[in-house]
Structure 1
Amino acid sequence: MSEKYGYNGSTDGVPSASTHIGTVIVTGANSGLGFEVTRALAEQGAHIVMACRSIERGEEAKQKIESEFLGASLTVHELDLADLDSVAAFAEWFKSTHDGLNVLCNNAGVMAIPRQETADGFEYQFGVNYLGHFALTAHLLPIMQQTTGESRVVMQSSVGHRNGEIDFDDLQGEESYSAWDAYGQSKLANLLFAYELDRRLHVAKASVKSLGCHPGASTTNLVHYSAEQGGFRLDLRLMSLMNAILAQSAERGAEPMVYAATDPGIEGGEYVGPDGLMNMRGDPMLQPSSERSYNEELARRLWDVSEDLTGVSFELPGPN
């Protein structure tokens, strides 16, 4: 790890605990990258709300972390990003039980699954990976702005965003659907949102930063789940081979999000990912995302469409 960005220089991927982290929400905290992000932040003394679709699996994950770190401060609460009513209910519960939020880790997601729809009629990947997090962030931003000190929103993207395009004529994939194209669209949307949110926060002179990150190639159940759901047997074999060559552990894949959530010197609007081969593995570092992800006109159009689709708006000044 590079001391330039506040890391302790160790090889275990744990940032230095030079600042108090405070209260953190991690979506999809019961498995994969979300579990490892939660585990790493629990080790640093944060209070973490594990936002999980399954309370049972969330409690199992909580117990695992508590058995490893005595005194870990963890709370499990239900959140289904495929249902905007659930998103609103989670946010209301949080605001009624907590007086601040230091970090919102928008981590949960699905990858390259057959077309299905959320409870609100959105294409599932676009709805869960992006729109659910868009609405959750809007609901929670007021409490983040009221939190003492700095707060951060961290959006989980993917190297797959580089192949993504925002198809405004068919956002929900109703006319033509490709599982991988829909995944790329959702992950590009996450970055467009992260950057546009940071621009608006900057105009508002808010004490909140917005950042993006990606895990590279990580060995989680997500790859196998998507391949099995879609019947992509060839894809599964190819992905298993690529994982054997490129992938790192889920623990290592979680490091970019932990970095973005905790590094004391990082700025808003940054993007963090592994520094190794093809940005698929290695230590977290600041890096550029795709040219399309920085398109401000595209980001503003997506923002307006997202507010219309979700019925949720941000109390922030618009772009200059």
Structure 2
Amino acid sequence: MFWTIDDIPDQTGRTAVVTGANGGLGLESTRALAGAGAHVVMAARNQEKAETARRDVLATHPQASLEVVPLDLGSLASVAEAADAIRARHERIDVLMLNAGVMAMPEGRTVDGFETQLGINVLGHWALLSHLLPVVVTTPGARVVTLSSIAQHQGHPLDPADPHLRGGYDAWRQYGNTKLAMRHLAQGLQARFEDAGVDALAVPAHPGYTNSDLQSTTAHAGGGGRLGPFYDKAADLVGMSVPRGALSQLRAATDPRARAGVIYGPLLAVSGPPVAKPLVRPGSADAVRRLWQVAERETGLPVDPAAVVRPR
């Protein structure tokens, strides 16, 4: 039997933080986690859209426990404010789902001067993780889920000399780089959890080819060139539904048998039920090192579980 939403264990008493919870995969993950009894912190930039999403979940699950926290991953100040609000209200984070992201955006800069895709997909999530890490490491059995993509296979490890691709920007290349970096974030974090003796699990997941609003946003933004409208139309024709696409990250977040060293994704890569596949790619240790170097330098924030559990 394949894993479905019905296999999510009872989440009563657990707290989940989901970025990008106001639409697409984040909204469906919120719906599933809340439906299973979790209190879900919906972290999202567009507050009007987030409130609509909250009401949508309540229409499905009237007893759902939800709260909305403003979060703009393109602003380190906003990330810090969101983390402060979450830490002030919650003593545990059982699931930290780093879901939000943009795809193949035209070259641009966040308010902190980061290339847009790197800033939102990676550095904003890195900063949120850094701020919330003290809560995560003290929550027994916590899960950190990072959202990668099949585009990781076209990506390259971040180049510390030019992570923003200022020497020659390509929207799809940078998208692949950032999605590979999110996989490396899970790998590096898991190794650090183990070194620090922390009872937590970091697991990457990807949704295959899902007909979410990601494709339409890319098409309208124009950064993906001719491929943007093509992928948008193809997703309408052959993409999985959003509830099906969200199953991989939900399994990574809730399956009691989830383990390190795998990535959760559709059986047939682009479609199918969620399964665990081994993480096999040469050079991962160096790639993780480069990610840590870039992210710490750019954000000024560490991600070091050992320093949290064994402060000097």
Alignment TM class, shorter chain as reference: over 0.9
Is residue 27 of structure 1 aligned with residue 11 of structure 2? no
Alpha-carbon shift at residue 223 of structure 1 (Å): 0.5
Question: 1:210 touches 1:269 (CA, 8 Å); kept in 2?
Answer: no
Is the contact made by 2:25 and 2:245 (CA closer than 8 Å) also made in structure 1?
Answer: yes
> Take 1:290 and 1:245, find their aligned partners in 2: how far apart are those partners?
31
The answer as to whether partners of 2:97 and 2:146 remain within 8 angstroms in 1 is yes
Contact 1:160 1:183 in 2 (8 A): yes
Which of these residues, 119, 123, 145, is aligned with residue 127 of structure 1?
A: 119
User: Does the CA-based 8 Å contact 2:11-2:37 persist in structure 1?
Assistant: no
Aligned with 1:282 (options 264, 272, 275): 272
Task: Provide Cα deviations, 1:174-207, integer angstroms capped at 9, x if missing partner.
Answer: 1200000010010011111110110010011101
Between stretches 19-28 and 155-164, larger displacement belongs to 19-28
CA pair 281-317 structure 1, distance change in 2 beyond 3 A: same
TM-score by length of 1: 0.91
Residue 146 of structure 1 aligns to a residue in which SS?
Answer: coil
Q: Does 1:304 align with 2:293?
A: yes
Pair 1:237–1:118, CA change in 2 (3 A): closer
The 5-angstrom pairing of residues 1-320 of structure 1 reads 1-2=1-2, 7=3, 13-17=5-9, 20=12, 22-147=14-139, 149-165=140-156, 166-230=158-222, 232=224, 234-244=226-236, 246-276=238-268, 279-289=269-279, 291-292=281-282, 295-317=284-306
Q: Which residue of 1 aligns with 2:310?
A: none
Residue 16 of structure 1, CA deviation: 3.6
TM-score, structure 2 length as denominator?
0.93
Q: For residue 94 of structure 1, report the CA deviation from its aligned partner.
A: 0.8
Shift in Å, 1:99: 1.2
DSSP 3-state at the match of 1:218:
coil
Closer/same/farther in 2, CA of residues 63 and 19 from structure 1, 3 Å limit: closer
Contact 1:194 1:269 in 2 (8 A): no
Q: CA deviation at 1:129?
A: 0.4
Kindly state the Cα deviation for residue 296 of structure 1 after the two structures are TM-superposed. 0.5
| One-letter identity of the residue aligned with 1:67 | A
Residues 222 and 290 of structure 1: is their aligned pair in 2 closer, same or farther, counting only changes over 3 Å? farther
Letter paired with 2:265: G
Number of residues of Structure 1 aligned to a counterpart in Structure 2: 306
| Structure 2 residue runs without a partner (length 5+) | 308-312
How far residue 245 of structure 1 moved from its aligned partner, in angstroms, is: 5.2
8 Å Cα contact 2:45-2:72 kept in structure 1: yes
CA distance in 2, matches of 1:95, 1:153: 16
Percent identical pairs in the alignment equals 38
The alignment partner of 1:219 has SS state of coil
SS at 2:5 equivalent: coil
Give the C-alpha shift of residue 125 in structure 1: 0.3
Distance 1:233 1:50 in 2: 32
